[in-house]
Copies of this chain bind each other. A is one copy, B any other.
Amino acid sequence: MIQNLSEHQREQLQEALAHGGQKVTPQREIVYSVLLAKRDHPTVDEVFNRARESMPGLSLATVYNCLETFVGCGLVRQVNHERESTRYCPNLAPHAHFRDESTGRVHDIELPEHVLSTLRSILPNGFETDSIEISFHGHTKNSRNHNSN
């Protein structure tokens, strides 16, 4: 069920890993191929199960390691970036969040209606939205006590 990587894909993998002095390993090949084979945003556990079909001895920790490596070298993106504790806020107006990576603080960013409609406009037909979540990640310069709602 799991395809091997194509020439091109293996090269991509090899090149991306090379930057951090990291190597292509059978485990990494399998995990990467799983990701490419079915692009349904699998969880770690799903990746693990699919990968084990071709490599029964593979361990869960390795899958975590591989994925972390891939994210680190820019091969793969994490969909639910926010794996820290859930946070709560009482600001009910439509707003985005800006997370300052240096301080860990979260700021509210007002969301004008025109931005929301721009966003809604990029959805294909048939997609109906209940809510949109937007979070910026970055840092603030000369931040003179912005409100941190």
- Looking at chain A's contact residues, is the secondary structure mostly helix, strand, loop, or mixed? mixed
Which stretch in A19-27, A37-45, A49-57 binds the other chain?
Answer: A37-45
- A95 (CB) vs chain B CBs: closest residue: B77
In the complex, are the beta carbons of B140 and A127 less than 8 A apart? yes
- A134 (CB) vs chain B CBs: closest residue: B134
Any B CB within 8 A of the CB of A78: yes
Cβ of A87: which chain B residues have Cβ within 8 Å of it? 41-43, 78-80
Cβ of A78: which chain B residues have Cβ within 8 Å of it? 86-88
- A92 (CB) vs chain B CBs: closest residue: B77
In the complex, are the beta carbons of A133 and B132 less than 8 A apart? no
Q: Which of B41, B139, B149 contacts A89 (CB 8 A)?
A: B41
In the complex, are the beta carbons of B137 and A130 less than 8 A apart? yes
- A121 (CB) vs chain B CBs: closest residue: B115
Distance from A131 Cβ to chain B, minimum over Cβ atoms (Å):
5
In the complex, are the beta carbons of B126 and A131 less than 8 A apart? no
Q: Which residues of A contact B (CB under 8 A)?
A: 32, 35-36, 39-45, 47, 67, 70-71, 74-92, 96-98, 101, 105-107, 109-112, 115, 118-119, 122-124, 126-144, 146, 148-149
